[in-house]
Each structure stands twice: as structure tokens, then as C-alpha cells.
Amino acid sequence: MSTSYVNGRYVPHGEATVHIEDRGFQFADSVYEVFAVQDGHVIDEDGHLKRLWHSLTELGIAEPMKQGPMKVVMRRLLSINRIRNGALYLQVSRGVAPRDFPAPQGLKPTLVMTVWRAKPFDGSAVKAGKVITMPDLRWKRCDIKTVQLLAGVLAKTEATKQGAVEAWLIDEAGNVTEGSSSNAWIVTADDQLITRHTDHAILGGITRQTLLKLAQEYGLKYIERAFSLSEAKAAKEAFTSSSTVMIRPVTQIDDDIIGDGEIGPFSRKAIELYGAYMKEHP
């Protein structure tokens, strides 16, 4: 059995528990991050920690510890579990208090971490998938990575039922915001690489951010702007990005085939650049 971390203790996974009056459990008053681990390196660790601090600050949840010691705990947990390839899940809730809506001041935040093993990313094994579309039913602060994930859970559950790999969420204007747990990308007929701009309507994905940096370094032009579902369906290529799945080419949206139904050159380049980036683990 693996070992997890709960508030300063390294405990067998089956005994890793938090109190029933934890505000994370009762109110989803809690934020999280998922870090990919490749060849023993935590990918984009600083970017994820920066976003975690953004989430904590926006909600006024106290930091459970400084970033330095947090990195030490993360490494220790990976090392105890002998994980060189996989992922680390980290959650910080506001803490434990008798159930009441107003968030009490001065609570001691709950910090938990779990890890799991996964195969290292292999660009040559990446498979394309289909996405379905669903209305975006989430709240208006999707830039904060909270555990309040029910809209995403329902959308992804429906996607899975329909044999799709992801659900792309559509806002009231008919634009694609993002996937239930990934960012959305398209390549238009005139070879423009497009992903939605970041604001409160989407999560600023760390993989998205790294891909934009890699595209720029490689000299690949991109535009950060909203795009409609009809634009996405007419695209030459589409793909998703996230820390756990990395890059997933999309060759079908609902019943419409994207491009020629094969993984296109932009998607292949993104897979190649991101794969190389993780090997270099800068």
C-alpha cells in the first residue's frame, strides 16, 4: 500500500483521513494541484505552486507552509513511494470548524498529498480521441483551482459514457471555454494555433502556459482568444492539454470529424516539443 501525507504525518494510504467537519468536505472550501512526475522530476513545480498560492490568496485560505518546505515534503513522499514517473496530488482546505457558512478566521489549513505511479509520457504512443460538448455550468471564478468540481465531474462522466476522452464546455455565447479537466486548442484553416485567453472563465493551465512558451521559442505563431464551437468544428486540428494527460489530439467533436480525422502536424509538433521539454525538465 502506498504512503500519503496528512498534516505533517506520512501514513499508509488506507489510514489517510481528514475530519468530517473539514471545510473541504462540507463546503468544497479547498484548493488543489496535480503535478506530473517524469524521470524523478516534478514538472513545472514552480508554476503549479504559483497557481496554488493564487488560489489560496483569492480565497483567503492561509498557507499551510512555505513553498520551500512544501517542495521537501513532496520529494519525501515521492521518495518514500519510490515514484519516478506518475503524479502527485496536493490539496489545501481552509481547515476544520463546526459547520457554518462564514469562514472562520485563523483556522489551521489542512494539507494532504497522495501520489501514484504512471507510465512516462511517450509521444509516439499518444492516441487521438473524441470530445463531446456540454454547457459550461461552472461558477464564475474558474481561475481558482478549487475542489468544487461537480460540473466537470458530470460533464466528464457523460463524455466517458459516450466513449469520448473529454467534454468541451460551451459558454452562453457559444464559445468553447475549456475541457472539464484540460485546456482546449484548435488550428484554423489558415494555420492559426488558437487557445482561449485566460480570465476568470477558465483555469490557466500550466501545460497550456508551457506550450505557449515552447510555441514561441519554436517560432510557432499563436493567438489567445475565444473561439466558437462552430469554429472548432471547422478547424483543421484540435487538441487538449493538461498535466496528467499532457497533449491529446482531438479528431472528433460531437458527430463532426476534425480535419481529415488524423493527428495533424501542429498536434504532432506540440507532442514533440512538450515531450522534449519534460525530458530536459527545466
The answer to the question of residue 178 lying near ligand PMP (CB under 6 A) is yes
- We find the least distance from the C-beta atom of residue 118 to ligand PMP, in angstroms, to be 14
Residues 228/171, Cβ–Cβ less than 8 Å:
no
The answer to the question of residue 177 lying near ligand PMP (CB under 6 A) is no
**Among residue numbers 144 through 173, which ones bind ligand PMP (CB under 6 A)?**
152
When the beta carbons of 9 and 141 are compared against ligand PMP, the nearer one is: 141
Which residue of the set 145, 156, 233, 236 is catalytic?
A: 145
Instruction: Give the number of residues in contact with ligand PMP, rule: CB under 6 A.
Output: 14
Distance (Å) of CA 134 to CA 160, 176, 258: 13, 10, 18
The answer to the question of residue 30 lying near ligand PMP (CB under 6 A) is no
Per DSSP, which regions of 95-245 are E strands?
Answer: 110-117, 129-135, 166-170, 175-179, 183-187, 193-195, 222-224, 227-228, 237-242
- Taking CB under 6 A as the criterion, the residue among 207, 251, 252, 267 binding ligand PMP is 207
DSSP-assigned beta bridge partners for residue 6: 9, 112
When the beta carbons of 153 and 257 are compared against ligand PMP, the nearer one is: 153
Contact code string over 232-271 relative to ligand PMP, x by CB under 6 A: ---------xxx----------------------------
What grid cell was written down for 114?
497522495
Using CA atoms, how far apart are residues 282 and 280, in angstroms rounded to an integer? Answer: 6
145 annotated active-site? yes
Contact code string over 90-109 relative to ligand PMP, x by CB under 6 A: --------------------
What lies within 8 Å, CB to CB, of 172 at 6+ separation is none
- Taking CB under 6 A as the criterion, the residue among 131, 203, 215, 232 binding ligand PMP is 203
Neighbours of 208 (CB within 10 A): 23
Amino acid at 136: D
Using CA atoms, how far apart are residues 87 and 96, in angstroms rounded to an integer? Answer: 27
Give the catalytic positions in this structure.
145
User: Can you give the binding site for ligand PMP, defined by CB under 6 A?
Assistant: 34, 152, 178, 181-183, 203, 205-208, 241-243
